[in-house]
Amino acid sequence: MLPLLCTLLVQILKAQTQQAFVASGKNITTADPKATRATKNLLKNLYLLKERYTIFGHQDCLAYGNGWRYNVNNPSGYVADVYNTCSDIPGVFGWDLGQIEQRLNNASIDYVINQVKLRDLRQWVKWVYDNNGINTFSWHADNPVFGGNAWQEGDKTTVCKILQKGSSWNIKFNGWLNLLADFFLSLKGDDGTLIPVIFRPFHESTLTNCFWWNEYGNGCSHSSYIALWQYTIDYLLNTKGVHNLLYAQSLNHAIYKNICTGSYDIEEDYPGNDYVDILGLDAYQPNLTSANTSITKIFMQDVNDECDYITEFASLNHKVAAITETGAENIPNTRWWTQVFSPLYANKKLAYVMLWRNPDKLTDFTSFYCIYPKHPSKPDFLSFYNGTNSFVFLRKLHAINLYR
């Protein structure tokens, strides 16, 4: 019964989408009405491009990769793991501004999370822009009330406390937003034009038992997430005058089953059309020690349904849909690219699909999620790369001016 109900739900969304476009004829517009021309053009072109292509992306790909870091332990002059595998480079470059907030009390701190230096980050952002790629930023912000990192939940009241205007927590959080604003306003092209970037704060809004921004209790309600999102965007726009950002909200894998069972409604977390440009999904394949076909089949069916849902919801609300994080932990399936990745995300009218990062394995031994030259799935990745008509990398994207 549930699969039928879910199918009907998507069909209803499709019908509403078609009616909405016929009735209004509304062109896609940025959540920020004062967005720069280049920022508006980026959103418009993403909206148009998704009808034909999906851009391949990778997190932190210029900063480090499997066995190397930029300017450190890098005798071979590595450019990026993807480039070293297929001689092409992703078109979407993911970055993270987590820990930039630590500069509030110590301006000498010159790096963000994973030890990426700010001067290098600015350099890479400009290089990506100059080569017609896309920069997107997440923010694994520390807990402003209880200390610790983004995964420090405290007593589940952080969101409500920092929204108490004039409180010490609110003042601290505003200071963090000032640091974000200063960074975004420092990103400029050779002609002084502000570089448009996608900002994805408070990501995986539907995840529980993880980040401080999606844990509630002791009188702090679930609806506070929307208030936090709107407060942050309003502050950047109206207080700091930042107008080179597109705003991406990302949901977490498994939302569709929760929607179908009635345990989740997207409106619980959706900040509203005036605060979102891109609706994303973070979807990781469960940790596998081998290419478990039954688990893979379930994962693919679930994510397929979720892709249908977010693309239809995005279209209904004149937004762009994307897979904002994905991957299979350590990629145990040597044919993952042609058996899972491409069948799952090709021809879905997604603006981009971004693989999560590859740690350096020199100082960071966490799991990896994308290809690198010595991985056993390299032949399959090359088959995917050489055979795809759906995904674009930077070489092809370079010929398409996204900012005009």
Active site residues per annotation: 204, 325
Question: Closest Cα to residue 306, out of 239, 246, 256, 241?
Answer: 256
- Can you read off the two tokens belonging to residue 199? 């900002």
Nearest CA-CA partner of 303 in 346, 248, 241? 346
Query: Among 227, 279, 167, 40, which Cα is nearest to 235's?
Result: 227
Q: Is 325 helix (H, G, I), strand (E, B) or coil?
A: strand
- How far apart CA 276 and CA 28 sit, in angstroms, is 12
CA atoms within 13 A on the CB side of 111: 6
Which of 293, 281, 290, 386 minimizes the C-alpha distance to 323?
A: 281
DSSP string across 82-103: HHHHHS---SEEEEE-TTGGGG
DSSP secondary structure code for residue 351 in this structure? S
Contact 313, 281 (CB under 8 A): no
Structure tokens at 88: 């092409």
CA-to-CA dists, residue 78 to 112, 194, 262, angstroms: 21, 29, 48
Q: How many helices (H) and strands (E) does the chain have?
A: 13, 13
- In Å, what is the CA distance from 287 to each residue of 148, 294, 354, 404? 27, 13, 18, 42
